[in-house]
Amino acid sequence: MVKRNVDLRSDTVTKPTEAMRAAMAIAEVDDDVLGNDPLALKLETEMAKLMGKEAALFVPSGTMGNLISVLVHCDIRGSEVILGDNSHIHVYENGGIATIGGVHSRTVKNKDDGTMDIDLIEAAIRNPKGELFFPTTRLICLENTHANSGGKCLHVEYIDKVGELAKKHDLKLHIDGARIFNASIALGVSVDRLVQATDSVSVCLSKGLGAPVGSVIVGSKSFIAKAKRVRKTLGGGMRQIGILCAAALVAIKDNVPKLATDHQNAKLLASELNQINGLKVDPKSVETNIIFLEIEQDSKISAESLCKNLEEHGILLMQESSSRIRMVVHHQISASDVNYTINCIKQFVCGYPLQSGY
Ligand SMILES: *Cc1c(COP(=O)(O)O)cnc(C)c1O
């Protein structure tokens, strides 16, 4: 029996497809720092159009995309950004906006659905007149889908309201849209409409879209012109990136349409696992491709023992704590992989024999 490889740790783990490798092999390239790489220009033009913004810029990672965006919007020292206390920028990006950008964070509690209460955002805004004691709020950041709440979608009505609030107070609005295409597909709202109220968006090409490297930030022409300078400052100006952009162009064309299937597979996984004694995952909480599996307190197994056992069967999960496991579905997880995973988990948790055919 060939050992299977079912990697559910993240949607960053996908490998470039044959089509991507073929496109990379024949990619025409030039120096992008000099502004001449044809496929970088093509990808940026296409992404700007898709997202309904004037311009776009390829960046090495989502972390750099967010950092550049915050630095451009908060280019006056003493600036403050309002963001979720459970947001990727605040939790997982090494505090870069503070350590590199000198930008102060003012967190507002993220609710279970990934939003922040709009009244609390408004109450957190401070110092439009530049008084002596306070940093000045210049930016609000949202995250869509919201990773730490399990890939929940922020609805267009909510984003529009935050956009109105930002305008009213003369602030900018940035969306960390690492998984914005997942949100767009799940909500059935075009991605340009979804981000209409924003000044900038950072989009990961290497999460659900499946490209090997890169993110894109989008915004106005003047935002992108400034972003290009900050990218160079951070060491993110790269040369023959057409190789990477070729793969990204294939990723957008081939894999955006597959996100709906990923979401179906995630929902199937969630509802089947929820029926296993000792495991809990609310299928209704799974809106896109992320699942948080809870091990109930009286269960005989632990998150660690489950992850270890599954690894022996070629299934990789992300252990988040002693009782919590994260699973992320992507285009290289098939319906058969999902069934295999369900069966292996049943076998370990309930002692069922592994069904034949796997
Ligand atoms: C992955 C991720 C990022 C950062 O992307 P990297 O390419 O890993 O730096 C930013 N925001 C969210 C919500 C993410 O999931």
pLDDT in tens, 26-59: 999 999 999 999 999 999 999 999 999 999 999 9
The pLDDT tens digits of the residues spanning 125-181 come to: 998 787 889 999 999 999 999 999 999 999 999 999 999 999 999 999 999 999 999
Task: Specify the DSSP element, H or E, that contains 45.
Answer: helix 38-51
Find all residues with CB under 8 Å of 81, minimum gap 6, and list them.
Answer: 70, 73, 74, 97, 103, 104, 105, 106, 137, 138, 139, 140, 141
d(CA 256, CA 250): 10
Rounded (5°) CA angle 147-259-117:
35
Q: How far is the CA of 62 from the centre of ligand 1 (A)?
A: 5
* Residue 170: exposure state from Cβ atoms within 10 A (0-12, 13-18, ≥19): exposed
pLDDT of residue 130: 76
Comparing C-alpha atoms, which of 77, 74, 169, 174 is closest to residue 129?
169
Q: Closest ligand 1 atom to the C-alpha of 87?
A: 13
Torsion angle defined by CA atoms of residues 275, 278, 280 and 283, in that order, rounded to the nearest 10 degrees: -10
Task: Specify the DSSP element, H or E, that contains 226.
Answer: helix 221-233
Q: Which two tokens stand for residue 214?
A: 């890169």
Q: Does 143 contact ligand 1 (Cβ within 6 A)?
A: yes
Does 60 have pLDDT greater than 60?
Answer: yes
Q: Does 176 contact ligand 1 (Cβ within 6 A)?
A: yes
pLDDT of residue 2: 66
Does 356 have pLDDT greater than 70?
Answer: no
Residue 336 phi, psi (nearest 5)? -65, -40
Comparing C-alpha atoms, which of 241, 161, 173, 162 is closest to residue 202?
173
Q: Is 104 helix (H, G, I), strand (E, B) or coil?
A: strand
Does the reported pTM lie above 0.85? yes
- Atom 14 (ligand 1) nearest CA: 178
- Atom 5 (ligand 1) nearest CA: 62
- What average pLDDT does the structure give for the chain? 95
Find all residues with CB under 8 Å of 181, minimum gap 6, and list them.
Answer: 191, 203, 208, 209, 256, 259
The pLDDT tens digits of the residues spanning 294-338 come to: 999 888 899 999 999 999 999 999 999 999 999 999 999 999 999
CA distances from 248 to 92, 159, 334 (A): 24, 27, 21
Q: Which two tokens stand for residue 322?
A: 């002693």
Q: Is 323 helix (H, G, I), strand (E, B) or coil?
A: coil
- Atom 3 (ligand 1) nearest CA: 62
Q: How far is the CA of 298 from the centre of ligand 1 (A)?
A: 34
Ligand 1 pocket test, pick from 176, 179, 328 with the greatest ligand atom count within 8 Å of Cβ, gives: 176
d(CA 77, CA 101): 8
d(CA 188, CA 97): 33
The pLDDT tens digits of the residues spanning 228-280 come to: 999 999 999 999 999 999 999 999 999 999 999 999 999 999 999 999 999 99
pLDDT of residue 357: 55
Residue range 82-108: average pLDDT? Answer: 97
Helix spans in 78-207 (H):
88-92, 96-99, 118-124, 156-168, 180-187, 191-194
d(CA 266, CA 88): 21
Token match 């900018």: residue? 172
Token match 């908060």: residue? 74
The pLDDT tens digits of the residues spanning 201-224 come to: 999 999 999 999 999 999 999 999
pLDDT of residue 354: 65
d(CA 223, CA 91): 25
d(CA 147, CA 228): 27
pLDDT of residue 355: 62
| Structural domains of the chain sorted by starting position, each given as residue range(s) with its CATH number in brackets | 6-13+258-350 (3.90.1150.10), 18-255 (3.40.640.10)
Q: Closest ligand 1 atom to the C-alpha of 60?
A: 7
